[in-house]
Chains A and B, each alone.
Chain A
Amino acid sequence: MKISCDDARPLVPSYLDGELSEAQASPLRTHLLDCPACREVAKEGKSLQRWFESEPESIAVPTGFAARVARRAFAGDPGLLVPEPSSSPAGRPRRTLLPFLLVATAVAAALLFVLAVAIQRESLPRSNNLEALPSRPPWLDAPAADASTPETPAAEAR
């Protein structure tokens, strides 16, 4: 059975991954023999696969790893989701960072709150002394001119 390039191309990755049945692979092989363009596609796929070499120097499994993990599992150790007890064979200091960060965040939040309140209280009395906006001069709000405010003499001077 002959197949076209349009039929052949989508099959190439599965072919290279060894996922085609012989009934599918056989016409594809015939097509690849006849068609240099599709053969090139298959060659490119092969070239890509050659990059996936397993690393020669792997991280070795530590001695006694299986026995240790089995012991921890049977002791009810839930794993990383819970901070490790300090008696853990390999101390992992970064896990003690979480409680510290929580406390630090709480302290920072409290400080921020105190600061916010302080700023608000500080700003309240001052708001009366603010320069009036040009669009709404203070004498419009005040029925009688107040001699104690600095704006009034300026207004009178005009």
Chain B
Amino acid sequence: MITMHEVAREDVQLVEEALGGNQLSFQLLIERYQDRIFALARHYTKSAVEVEDIVQDTFLKAYRRLETFQRQSSFSTWLYRIAVNTALDFLKRMGRSPVQAVEDPELSASPVRAQAGSGVAIAAPDARMRREEIARITAEVLSELPEIFRTVLVLREFEDMPYQQMADVLGISIGTVESRLFRARARFKEAMIRLYPEFAAAD
């Protein structure tokens, strides 16, 4: 079994080789991460062509900035950071980033967190629902959220990222990750109940 450490060491090795002019090494790096970056980009657009554009642009940018990659840090985190920024830039360029956070998401976390559990609650998806249906509803609800909230939910819930990695990808503190995630979940529940009131949790 390949450990995380081995993966990281191999990543750095491939980066060195690519910087030395080895195109195949860069191709191998792309092959390692393309599935995950495609999966990430899918949360920002439904169009297959646009998903491909975002992923391609992510890797082209990564290549141009390869010199700036710090060997001791994680290539995966560095790449995700480029991918998230590329996806957000893409939405902006397409004029499709209308949902901006009106409230300041960095407002002190404590008063909000103290209310944990208050407000709306949603039920788990019905056991008879197909995965496609759950995914469709979730995607629709996510698209209602400001990008800043959508991104933390995608990284946490779909990419299964620990808080520290999210903080590194987004360039924010762990405290900010927690408060943003808290608000994102509250907004997700609100949007879910607005669009699908049938999923409000029964009291």
Contact = CB atoms under 8 A, between A and B. Distances in A.
Interface of A: 6, 9-10, 12-14, 17-19, 37-38, 40-41, 44-59, 61-62, 65-67, 69-74, 77-80, 90, 92
Interface of B: 23-24, 26-28, 30-31, 34-35, 38-39, 42, 48-49, 51-53, 55-57, 59-61, 63-64, 90, 93, 110, 113-114, 116-117, 121-125, 131-132, 134-135, 137-139, 141, 153, 156-158, 162-163, 178, 181-182, 185, 188-189, 192, 201
A78 B137 contact: no
B56 A79 contact: yes
B23 A47 contact: no
Nearest to A38: B117
A41 B117 contact: yes
Contacts of B49: 90, 92
B117 A9 contact: yes
Given A56-B135, A79-B57, A46 B27 contact: no
Contacts of A40: 117
Contacts of A59: 38, 42, 48, 51-52
Contact of A54 (B34, B116, B135, B182): B135
A56 B124 contact: no
A90 B110 CA distance: 50
A45 B119 CA distance: 12
B35 A61 contact: yes
Interface of B (DSSP majority class) = helix
Given A61-B35, A78-B60, A53 B163 contact: no
Given A6-B114, A61-B34, A61-B38, A69 B134 contact: no
A76 B39 CA distance: 26
A12 B131 contact: no
Contacts of A66: 27-28, 30-31, 34
A41 B116 contact: yes
Interface of A (DSSP majority class) = helix
7 contacts: A10-B116, A13-B182, A19-B163, A51-B124, A62-B52, A69-B60, A79-B56
Given A53-B134, A79-B57, A80-B53, A47 B34 contact: no
A19 B164 CA distance: 9
Given A56-B131, A73-B26, A51 B38 contact: no
B114 A10 contact: yes
Contacts of B90: 80
B113 A10 contact: yes
B185 A13 contact: yes
A70 B64 CA distance: 11
Given A13-B182, A90-B49, A70 B30 contact: yes
A55 B116 contact: no
B92 to A, nearest CB: 12
Given A10-B114, A80-B57, A52 B153 contact: yes
B122 A48 contact: yes
B68 to A, nearest CB: 15
